[in-house]
A and B are shown apart, each in its own frame.
Chain A
Amino acid sequence: MKSYFSLQWKRVMKVLPFVSVVTVVLFAGIAVVLSGLIIADQSDDKNMKLRIGVTGDTDNSILKMAIAAFQNFDESRFTITFVEMEEKQAEKELSEGGVTAYLILPDDFVEKAMRGEMEPLYYVTSAGATNIVTMFKNEITTLVTDVVVSSQKGSFGLQEALEDNDIADTEGWVDELAVEYVSAIMQRAKVLAVNELQITSGVRIANLYLCSLTVLFLMLLGLPFVAVYARRDRSLNVLLVSRGMSVGKQLYDEWLPHFLSLLGLAAVVFVPVICLSATSNTMLADLLSTQEWLRYMILFVPVLAMVSAFNLFIFEVGGNVVSATLLHFFAALCMCYVSGCFYPVFTFPRAVQAMERFLPTGLARETLMLSFKVDAAFYPVIGVVAYGVLFFAAACAVRTYKVRRWEGVCG
């Protein structure tokens, strides 16, 4: 039955040029995301800084001094930049991503605050924003409120004490206490004795993103082949079974060209990456060394063997182009989400992390991480191969059921 293998090979070759274009575009999209994540994560101070606009009534000299002091002396200068601007400009920059958020100071904010009339500040973020600073905003603003209120209690407590005891504040003690509180806030970090052990988990977060997004890419790589493999008409399969070609052999002849084509497509996009990393001093060279990139590509073999078996299984279950597309995308998206392709896996609850280690996508990610993890156990590769065999067996079972049903319908 060499001819069935040749037939499948030709079917794959027919769609390969188009699928190659789709693959390159898909790879480019995921590469953009990866580079964006890596740049955002770099520990370079410039890249980590968050810009927060300050708008409204910023003319007060005390406020200007406070902002300048925070910008030059405070611990937060490494992470946050406050930028004075008009509200319209702040709104524009917020929509373009120039600022993460902006504050609106009401009129005469400082003067009123010094009289004990604390008007609320508006903290403006874009709708549905999903970055880390926005997610932390509730926590940080609660704490800042706490600190400001405590400071105000001190200043106004002193003012009350002086008034109650008929003492005139000729020396400006209340203002001096307010300045003392600002000084205390700026020296707040000294209350901690910090011991940084400089132990990494062995995996840089950039490499974690690389492996996670590669898994996402490989999982979506097979989707353009749905029109080749998802079909309702089982008459050819029934005929082949009647001629002595088992369902398993048929699926193997379908799986092998699919697996080899996925490997070829992965090579088309990753070989230039390896060449670039070897020849130039780029972000790629920072991610992995050339040797690690080569190991990375070698580890694609078991991963793609599993992915191609998964694709065949889903296409068998789907039974037609549309159902197979829906099921494939939904299953791939759910598994990739839980396996840390979008959020790092350590941000998930422990129970989910424990489950994720046994998912095909989790094992695939662990397998790819072996390329740069020293002395790591090889169990992920065994897991990936086992899943590949399991998906293949499941595809055989589904095909057998459908062939028998087709025989029953037509026989």
Chain B
Amino acid sequence: MKRWFRWLWMLSKRLYKRAAFLAILLLIPLAVLALDAAAQANSGFIHVVLSQTDPADPISSALVERFMSERSLILFSYVDDPRAATDMVITGEADAAWVFPNNMEEKMDRFVTSHYTRGGVVTVVEREQTVFSRIAREKLNFALQHYSAPACYLNFTRDHVEQLDALTDEQLMTYFNDVEFNQELFLFRTPDGNTSVEVDNNYLMAPVRGLLGVLMVLCGLAAALFYLRDEEKGTFALVPLRRRGWVAYACLFIAVLNVSVVTWLALVCGGITTSAWLEIPILLLYAVCCAAFCLLLLRLCGSIRVLASVLPILLTVMIVACPIFFDLHLDLWIKLLFPPTYFVSAPFDGWYLLYMVAYAAVCVGLAFGIRRLTEWWRMQRTRKRKEKG
């Protein structure tokens, strides 16, 4: 046991001597915290400016307050003057302006009683129609439905149910208001039935988990480059050949494990986690998985130059293939080739923890197989040279 800890200490110490490695360990949580701070500021996929013709109108005021206070992917702002709102759209300061009229209740009633022919209650001015502007308009439409529903009920009752003519509007509305539904209509879950997967974070923070996964792979690959250089220098000359493979794996695992500690801190401080304690086994297994993947690449590339050249391609491919920023709907087997896929999916689907173990086993097996093959080929070449010479 003492020997294990001695190895753990020595392999970690050689990393902490590298200023760049220390810098990365410090920068990762700082960068995530900076991004989290930026994500708290107002931002959105589309900027909508709200304005009221009559600021005292209760319905439009309630709508403005609702939109301004909700957390949304739409950035809402407010101006007093409806003309200023339109000007903001023309000049490009805003993408759309929603101008609420005076007497909204009366106008909504008229919209309903005219069987939706006298529309145009709320004025919407847009720069151009995009998918975001359509989604924003749907948000407004559904919000207005909430106010037209009582009018629809009253109008229908008056038009069709003569037997209730004796009741006043207030008495009819009492029946409407007394109906209560105290439950959510929609419950969110993932395909495996996991319902507690909502991570409340901004869209800016959504890819951070995936990027941290990619950074861990990068650090593993950097450790692989360190190992190759140390091997060239003869640092591990005293280690028996049959144990070199495990020493290589240990070097990579220790590096990734160190980074996983700061990754855990970054996830917890940035609020990008379902459970801080659940992240510990995920990160441990991911470190095993990452180190195995980097070991396989180390054996495949074989030299510092090749590995350093392959690095940008690999990192770009991982950012593209894994569901970090974009989902290009690639086949699942392509996504499963790269470790960040497991890291991104593990908190939502427990099976990915087992997949990580299997993935690590396959990578380590392949790495050792490639090493055996390489050694056998070298021995054959040496033997043939000796026979010729």
Contacts and interface: CB of A to CB of B under 8 A. Distances in A.
B73 A139 contact: yes
B21 interface: yes
B104 to A, nearest CB: 10
Given A176-B160, A224-B309, A137 B188 contact: yes
Contacts of B197: 127
A323 B18 contact: yes
Chain B CB within 10 A, most for which of A98, A122, A323: A323
Given A19-B309, A36-B328, A48-B131, A330 B215 contact: yes
B316 A323 contact: no
B324 to A, nearest CB: 7
A403 to B, nearest CB: 18
B137 A322 contact: no
A188 B145 contact: yes
B262 interface: no
Interface stretch (A65-73, A343-351, A365-373): A343-351
A257 B90 CA distance: 48
Contacts of B223: 322
Interface of B: 18-21, 23-24, 27, 31, 38-39, 41-45, 47, 70, 72-73, 89-90, 92, 108, 111-112, 116-117, 119-132, 134-135, 137-146, 148-150, 152-153, 156-157, 160-161, 163-164, 167, 172, 175-179, 181, 183-191, 194, 197, 203-204, 206-207, 209-211, 215, 218-219, 221-223, 225-226, 229, 304-306, 308-313, 315-317, 320, 323-329, 331-332, 344-345, 347-349
Given A165-B163, A321-B229, A348-B204, A197 B122 contact: no
Given A190-B119, A196-B128, A131 B327 contact: yes
A383 interface: no
Most A C-beta atoms less than 10 A away, residue of B108, B116, B223: B116
Interface of A: 15, 18-19, 22, 25-26, 29-30, 32-33, 36-37, 41, 43, 48, 75-76, 78-79, 91, 94-98, 118, 120-132, 135-137, 139-141, 143-154, 156-158, 160-162, 164-165, 167, 171, 173, 176-177, 180-181, 183-185, 187-201, 205, 220-221, 223-224, 226-227, 318-327, 329-330, 333-334, 337, 342-343, 346-352
A137 B73 CA distance: 10
Contacts of A176: 156, 160
B179 A156 contact: yes
Contact of B209 (A124, A128, A160): A128
27 contacts: A26-B313, A29-B313, A36-B328, A78-B134, A121-B186, A127-B197, A127-B345, A129-B323, A130-B203, A141-B185, A145-B184, A147-B146, A150-B145, A154-B153, A177-B152, A190-B120, A191-B120, A192-B123, A192-B124, A193-B120, A193-B124, A197-B128, A220-B312, A220-B315, A323-B19, A329-B315, A349-B41
A173 B134 CA distance: 34
A328 to B, nearest CB: 9
B153 A177 contact: yes
A147 B145 contact: yes
Nearest to A18: B309
Nearest to A133: B135
Contact of A33 (B144, B188, B320, B331): B320
A98 B177 CA distance: 42
Nearest to B206: A130
Contact of A191 (B41, B122, B207): B122
A160 B179 contact: yes
Contact of A136 (B135, B160, B179, B226): B135
Contacts of B143: 143, 146
B41 A351 contact: yes
A153 B311 contact: no
Contact of B183 (A94, A118, A136, A324): A118
B141 A189 contact: yes
A161 B187 contact: no
Contact of B121 (A157, A192, A200): A192
Contacts of A180: 152, 156
Contacts of B206: 130, 135
A226 B43 CA distance: 37
B324 A130 contact: yes
Given A37-B326, A199-B92, A149 B185 contact: yes
A33 B323 CA distance: 12
B128 to A, nearest CB: 6
A97 B130 CA distance: 22
B167 A161 contact: yes
B169 to A, nearest CB: 12
Contact of A26 (B23, B187, B210, B316): B316
Contact of B186 (A95, A96, A120): A120
B316 to A, nearest CB: 5
A197 B127 contact: yes
Given A127-B197, A348-B38, A322 B187 contact: no
Contacts of A118: 181, 183, 185
B14 to A, nearest CB: 11
A29 B176 contact: no
B181 A347 contact: no
Contacts of B176: 153-154, 157
B131 A132 contact: yes
A96 B330 CA distance: 7
A122 B121 CA distance: 34
A154 B152 contact: yes
Contacts of B128: 196-200
A325 B308 contact: yes
B146 to A, nearest CB: 5
Contacts of A154: 149-150, 152-153, 156, 176
A184 B207 contact: no
Contacts of A181: 149, 152
B320 A29 contact: yes
A369 to B, nearest CB: 15
Contact of A141 (B73, B186, B226): B186
Nearest to A29: B316
B185 A129 contact: no
Contacts of A33: 320, 326, 328
Nearest to B23: A327
A161 B175 contact: yes
Contacts of A351: 38, 41
Given A140-B138, A325-B311, A193 B119 contact: yes
